[in-house]
């Protein structure tokens, strides 16, 4: 049979993939080059939002999920609990920092929702894959977080960092 296996469906094509950009030429001063690239990158980001692409579709879908969650609060189909997590944002290292900043912004927009940024590695320790390993000195446990059907956002620059990747499984 020519049907792709489960593993083949998850593989990312590295060549002729519009989402993977070729490496740039080496620069004698990579930091100065990064600084010089900032205006172009900011412009590229602004331009990307003008077309219907993955960023706009993802933002639209997130908006729909948040609207549904808020509507559930209004009509009573989503019960409000003190420890409920409506939106869980996870990542590790620099991606976790970005996730935390995003949560801070979301909380300003939606103060009535339970929005948490939690390290992917801590989530893996808390909920485990095969075996749960409680995190000492970590304020969250299975009892302190009600994660009944939250909106989950996994932040990862590469998509291949172990913690976020394992959480996606």
pLDDT tens per residue, range 63-106: 999 999 999 888 988 777 778 899 999 999 999 999 999 999 99
| pLDDT (tens digit per residue) in 113-131 | 999 999 998 888 887 766 6
Distance CA 141, CA 147 (A): 11
Asked if 145 and 83 touch (Cβ cutoff 8 Å), the reply is: yes
Residue 91's H or E segment, with its range, is strand 87-91
Q: Cα separation of 159 and 169, whole Å?
A: 12
117 - beta bridge partners?
89
User: What are the start-end ranges of the H helices in the chain?
Assistant: 6-10, 30-48, 54-75, 94-109, 120-127, 162-168
Nearest Cα to Cα of residue 115 among 80, 151, 141, 144: 151
The verdict on pTM exceeding 0.85 is no
3-state helix, strand, coil split of the chain in percent (to 5) is 45, 10, 45
């Amino acid at each position: 049979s020519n049907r792709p296996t489960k593993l083949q469906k998850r593989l990312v094509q590295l060549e002729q993939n519009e989402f993977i950009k070729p490496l740039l030429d080496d620069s004698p001063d990579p930091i100065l080059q990064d600084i010089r690239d900032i205006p172009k990158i900011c412009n590229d980001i602004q331009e990307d939002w003008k077309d219907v692409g993955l960023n706009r579709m993802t933002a639209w879908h997130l908006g729909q999920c948040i609207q549904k969650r808020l509507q559930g609060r209004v009509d009573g189909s989503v019960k409000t609990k003190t420890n409920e997590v409506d939106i869980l944002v996870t990542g590790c290292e620099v991606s976790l920092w970005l996730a935390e900043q995003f949560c801070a912004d979301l909380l300003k927009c939606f103060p009535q929702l339970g929005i948490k940024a939690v390290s992917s590695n801590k989530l893996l320790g808390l909920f485990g894959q095969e075996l749960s390993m409680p995190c000492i000195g970590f304020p969250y446990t299975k009892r302190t977080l009600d994660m009944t059907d939250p909106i989950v956002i996994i932040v990862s620059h590469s998509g291949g960092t172990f913690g976020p990747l394992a959480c996606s499984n």
